[in-house]
Amino acid sequence: MRHLSISSKTFDAELNDFCRGSVVPREISDAVASILADVQTRGDEAVAYYAAKFDGAKLRARDFRLKPSELAAAAKRVSSAEMKAMIAAHENIVAFNEKGLPKAWTARNKQGAEIGEVHHPIRRVGLYVPGGEVPLVSTVLMTATLAKIAGCPEIAVFTPSNSQGRVADGLLAALHLVGVEEVYRLGGVQAVGAMAYGTFTIPAVDKVFGPGNAYVCEAKRQVFGTVGVDSLPGPSEVMIIADETARPDFAAADLLAQAEHGSGREKVYLVATSGAVLAAIEAEVQAQVKSLSRAEKTRRVLADGFLAVQVTTLAEAAKVANHVAPEHLELMVAPTAQKTLLKTITTAGAIMLGNHTPTAVGDFTAGPSHVLPTGRAGRFFSGLRVADFMRRTSVVRYEKASIKKAAPVVAAFAAMEKLDAHGRSVAIRAL
């Protein structure tokens, strides 16, 4: 665990150094570029090769896509409790995200022209769902549900299989629940490459969505421009801001919940208003980690990716949070302090208020998507929403009277920019 005090003369430099660990190492970017180039060149053959190399799955091209009947069968195999949980989460996700569905509008500008916006779903989207050792069933609901609400005509889901070519029943059951039928048992960089470039058996998509490890995240960055990407959500992060009202056992449990992803690249931040609060929470972390099934991997994250920061004021805590832009931010502070911080912290992916709002409820069931910006991308990206699955198009209509009013404005700009044809195209209509 690493400790910093905001009063230290080297605080800014040390905080930057810790955050800089989120920068993708050169060896990862080079490896990703090589795989993507191979997929672009060899298509299905390359995809099958990397599925075997990284997942141990010996797949032929005809094996890539699962049959809809396999999804339906998986839905029957999961327990009733698991299905009830998925349904409950799905209902909350639908209720929250339907409120964010963009609406068309029209108005008149000062020249009398009709202006407005219309929205259309993206034609074909690709959703990446982490699987394998930790099958993220909730990610299916947090991505595919939004694509369905947006009305995307084609939704293709990619998730890695195990060495036998099997995908976790929970993932398939969730896909069946949402109503997605185009599902590929493929993950990793090769899946992102297939989405971006297409292969003989896999049609290319228009935009790629979903979280992933450092390699998947880097792959999305490299294919951006060939296709759209939602953001670059990579290894998980959480920051807890705690004062004397925080429950140390609650705070410790939430820090460990994000650390247990266990890639080794996760970041957990504890920002506290006193050394006593820090010590109490850290003691709970050490006590609780012993009982975790993924204790070894979690300890690795605690050793390399845990930063404890002591501040003296809430304003200082807000400064730290705004700099880091954490994926998840928990405000375990007094109610009045929550209100203050909610106004001043402007870069967090998602904010959880109070001692009884762990990140896990946001991850699984609250309603907002848990696909959130990481690696300080919260400075310029937001969490996934329905609008991300849609395109906005502006609409403009001028008539004879309104074009005459616009003519002097256009003429002035055309003269300033030395674009006489622009000016003439309006002037000829304003005669």
Positions annotated as catalytic residues are 327-328
d(CA 158, CA 144): 11
Backbone angles phi and psi of 160, in degrees to 5: -70, 150
* 182: Cβ contacts below 8 Å, ≥ 6 apart: 65, 154, 155, 156, 157
**C-alpha span between 217 and 238 (Å, rounded):** 18
**CB atoms near residue 409 (< 10 Å):** 11
Sign of the four-CA dihedral 120, 125, 130, 135: positive
Q: Is 347:381 a contact under the CB 8 Å cutoff?
A: no
Residue 304 CB burial class (10 angstroms; 0-12, 13-18, ≥19): middle
Distance CA 288, CA 302 (A): 12
Distance CA 320, CA 55 (A): 39
Residue 371 backbone dihedrals phi, psi, to 5 degrees: -80, 105
Torsion of CA 316, 322, 327, 330, to 10 degrees: 30
Alpha carbons 396 and 370: distance in angstroms, whole number: 36
Instruction: Provide the residue type at 210 as one letter.
Output: G
**What's the CA gap between 100 and 402, in Å, rounded?**
34
